[in-house]
Amino acid sequence: MNILTLGGSGHVSGAVARAALDAGHTVWTVTRGHRPLPDGVKPLIADRHDTKALEQIIGGQDVLWDLVVDCICFDEQDMRQNIQLFRQRAKQLVFVSSDFVYDPSNRRFPQPEESEFWETSVPYGRNKRCSEEELINSDTGDMDWTVVRPCHIYGPT
């Protein structure tokens, strides 16, 4: 499979890239190029907030990605960018969100996927939820998508 991660040198994104490589896939990463990447990835150097540079680097790849994993999407603008860039260049988009989208005073364990209690006051959780809603309510064409909401991410970083 052809897999692209947005991020690739961080804790989660690096783990995704390494797991994909270990499974024998061809892996590209979009990073700013400030930190080392796992051996074997094809680095695409761009800052996601430099829209023109990101569009140029993504558009310059002659690839239909089987999977794009966005580990660094934090707001609606990032998600709109994902949809614009990948709706015709990817079969599947995975958005790594957070369980911080749930209102902590109504959070349950285990937390069901559906909720009527969303975080509205803390920017991180609110922005992640707004990103999810942008994806849910947008035309993604033939691109399938999945939202994952990890609750706690542990590791050496």
Work out the average pLDDT over 74-81.
97
- Give the up-direction half-sphere exposure of residue 85: CA atoms within 13 A in the CB hemisphere: 27
Report d(CA 44, CA 96) in Å as an integer.
20
Q: Can you give the pLDDT at residue 157?
A: 60
Q: What is the pTM of this model?
A: 0.93
Note whether 130 and 75 are within 8 A (CB): yes
Digit-coded pLDDT (tens) for 109-124: 888 888 889 999 999 9
Number of Cβ within a 10 Å radius of residue 84: 14
Note whether 5 and 13 are within 8 A (CB): yes
- Candidate from 80-89, 114-123, 129-138, 139-148 with smallest mean pLDDT: 114-123
